[in-house]
C-alpha cells in the first residue's frame, strides 16, 4: 500500500489559530510518501519503530490500527521541522495507508484523526496543518463561520470549522533557514506570553483580524494587498517572539522582488514565504543569504493513494 500527502504553508494566522483565531493555509507541491506492508515487527525505514524518532507514525498506529505489525517505508520531499508541515504530511499519508488497509478510507476521518495525532504528539495544536494536507488547495479554519464547512472539531472551549477557500494560483517561494524549529517549543513559548500578558492577547487578536482582511484580496487576486497583509502579519509574529535572525535575513532579501514576505509555520527557525511575480529572483536572493529556496505551487490534491 503506497500513499502520499502534500506539505503546506500557512499564509495567515499561525499561532493565533491555536487560540481560536482564523487561519488560511495552502497545500503545496512537495509530498511525503509512505509504503506499508504487514511484517513480523514494527520497523520504520529499516529501524525498529521508536517513540523518539517516529512519534507521529506511532500515534497514528495507536489511534487506528490493531492489526499485525507493519514495515513502514517513508520518503519525503519536505525537510523536517521546516515550517512546511512535514509532521502533518507524514501523519496524513500514514493514516491514509492504515485506513485504506482497513477499508475505512474517508476524507473527513483522515482529517479528524490527523488533528488528533498532532494534538496528542505536540500536546497542543490547531487543525490547520492536518486539514490542509488532507483536503489540498486552500483551507480556512474559523471558529464561527458555519456556511459550507467541510467538518468541525472541538477541543475544550475551542471550536474550529474547516472550510475550503478560493485562492488564486499564487507564485510563492519558500525559504528554508536550515534551522529546525520545534512547533511544540514555539507554541509553548507563545502560550507563556499569552497567559501572562494582555498585550500578547491583543497581538493574537490582531493576527486574527489580518487573516479575515486577507480573504477578499485573495479572492480578488489583489497581490499588492495580500503582500501588505503578509508583512503586517510578520511584524505581529515577531512581537510574539517566534521570528529568528535567519528568517529576517531571508525576508529582507526577498522583499526586493516580492509583494510581501513572512515567516510561515511555528517559526523559531523553519521557513519564510514570499509572494512574488519573480520566483527566480526571490529564490536567488534567498540562497545568497544562505537559505534553501523552493519555488512552490499550490497542490490541488490532498492525500492520495499512489
Ligand atoms: C504550525 O504549523 C502552526 C501553529 O499555529 C501550530 C498549530 O496551529 O497547530 C504554530
- What is the Cα–Cα distance from 305 to 249, expressed in whole angstroms? 39
Mutate to test the pocket of ligand 1, among 126, 140, 142 (most ligand atoms within 8 A of CB): 126
| pLDDT attached to residue 275 | 98
Q: Which residue has the higher pLDDT, 144 or 280?
A: 280
Looking at residue 124, its pLDDT comes to 86
Find the 230 Cα to ligand 1 centroid distance in Å.
Answer: 16
Residue nearest to atom 8 of ligand 1 (CA): 126
Within 107-213, strands assigned E span 138-142, 151-155, 158-164, 172-176
Ligand 1 atom 9: residue of nearest CA: 125
Which of 90, 125, 263 has most ligand 1 atoms within 8 Å of its beta carbon, as the pocket-test mutant?
A: 125
Cα of 118 vs centre of ligand 1, distance in Å, is: 10
Please state the length of the chain.
Answer: 306
Q: Is the dihedral of CA 54, 55, 56, 61 positive or negative?
A: positive
The percent helix, strand, coil of the chain (3-state, each to 5) is 40, 25, 30
User: Once rounded to an integer, what is the mean pLDDT over residues 159-180?
Assistant: 96
pLDDT of 123 > 90? The answer is no
Q: Is 125 touching ligand 1 by the criterion CB < 6 Å?
A: yes
The per-residue pLDDT for range 154-164, each reduced to its tens digit, is: 999 999 999 99
Could you give the C-alpha distances from 195 to 43, 188, 200, 201, 233, in angstroms and in order? 41, 10, 8, 8, 21
* Among candidate residues 29, 83, 51, the one with its CA nearest the CA of residue 234: 83
Distance 123 CA to ligand 1 centre (A): 12
Q: Is the CB of 18 under 6 A from ligand 1?
A: yes
Question: Is the confidence at residue 222, as pLDDT, over 90?
Answer: yes
Give me the interface pTM, i.e. the ipTM.
0.99
What are the catalytic residues?
Answer: 129
Report all structural domains of the chain as residue ranges with CATH numbers, in order of start.
2-167 (3.30.230.10), 172-296 (3.30.70.890)
- The rounded mean pLDDT for the chain is 96
The answer to whether the CB of 128 is under 6 A from ligand 1 is: yes
Tell me the pLDDT tens digit for each residue of 73-114: 999 999 999 999 999 999 999 999 999 999 999 999 999 999
Q: Encode pLDDT of 270-306 as tens digits.
A: 999 999 999 999 999 999 999 999 999 999 999 999 9
* Residue showing cell 500527502: 5
Cell of 50: 521508536
Q: Residue 217: pLDDT band by 50, 70, 90 thresholds? A: very high
Question: 14 alpha carbon to ligand 1 midpoint, in Å?
Answer: 5
Checking if the pLDDT of 47 tops 90, the result is yes
Give counts: helices (H), strands (E), the chain.
9, 13
pLDDT at 181: 83
Query: Is residue 129 lining ligand 1, measured as CB closer than 6 Å?
Result: yes
Stretch (H or E) spanning 285: helix 279-288
Amino acid at each position: 500500500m503506497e500513499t502520499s500527502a502534500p506539505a503546506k504553508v500557512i499564509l495567515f494566522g499561525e499561532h493565533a489559530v491555536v487560540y481560536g483565531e482564523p487561519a488560511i493555509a495552502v497545500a503545496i507541491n512537495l509530498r511525503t510518501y509512505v509504503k506499508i506492508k504487514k511484517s513480523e515487527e514494527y520497523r520504520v525505514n529499516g529501524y525498529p519503530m521508536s517513540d523518539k524518532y517516529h512519534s507521529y507514525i506511532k500515534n497514528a498506529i495507536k489511534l487506528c490500527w490493531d492489526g499485525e505489525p507493519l514495515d513502514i517505508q517513508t520518503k519525503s520531499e519536505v525537510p523536517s521541522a521546516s515550517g512546511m508541515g512535514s509532521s502533518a504530511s507524514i501523519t496524513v499519508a500514514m493514516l491514509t495507508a492504515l485506513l485504506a488497509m482497513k477499508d475505512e478510507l474517508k476524507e473527513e476521518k483522515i482529517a479528524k484523526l490527523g488533528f488528533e495525532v498532532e494534538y496528542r504528539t505536540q500536546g497542543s495544536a490547531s487543525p490547520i496543518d492536518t486539514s490542509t494536507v488532507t483536503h489540498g488547495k486552500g483551507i480556512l479554519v474559523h471558529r464561527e463561520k458555519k456556511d459550507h464547512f467541510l467538518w468541525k472539531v472541538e477541543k475544550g472551549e475551542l471550536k474550529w470549522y474547516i472550510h475550503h477557500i478560493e485562492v488564486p494560483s499564487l507564485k510563492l517561494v519558500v525559504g528554508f533557514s536550515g534551522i529546525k524549529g520545534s512547533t511544540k517549543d514555539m507554541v509553548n513559548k507563545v502560550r507563556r506570553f499569552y497567559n501572562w500578558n494582555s498585550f500578547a492577547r491583543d497581538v493574537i487578536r490582531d493576527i486574527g483580524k489580518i487573516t479575515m482582511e486577507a480573504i477578499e484580496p485573495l479572492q480578488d487576486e489583489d497581490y499588492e494587498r495580500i503582500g501588505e497583509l503578509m508583512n503586517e502579519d510578520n511584524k505581529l509574529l515577531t512581537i510574539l517572539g517566534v521570528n529568528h535572525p535567519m528568517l529576517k535575513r531571508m525576508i529582507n532579501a526577498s522583499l526586493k522582488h516580492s509583494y510581501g514576505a513572512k515567516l510561515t509555520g511555528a517559526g523559531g527557525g523553519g521557513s519564510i514565504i514570499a509572494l512574488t511575480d519573480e520566483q527566480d529572483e526571490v529564490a536567488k536572493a534567498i540562497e545568497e543569504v544562505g537559505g534553501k529556496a523552493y519555488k512552490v505551487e499550490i497542490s490541488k490534491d490532498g492525500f492520495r493513494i499512489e
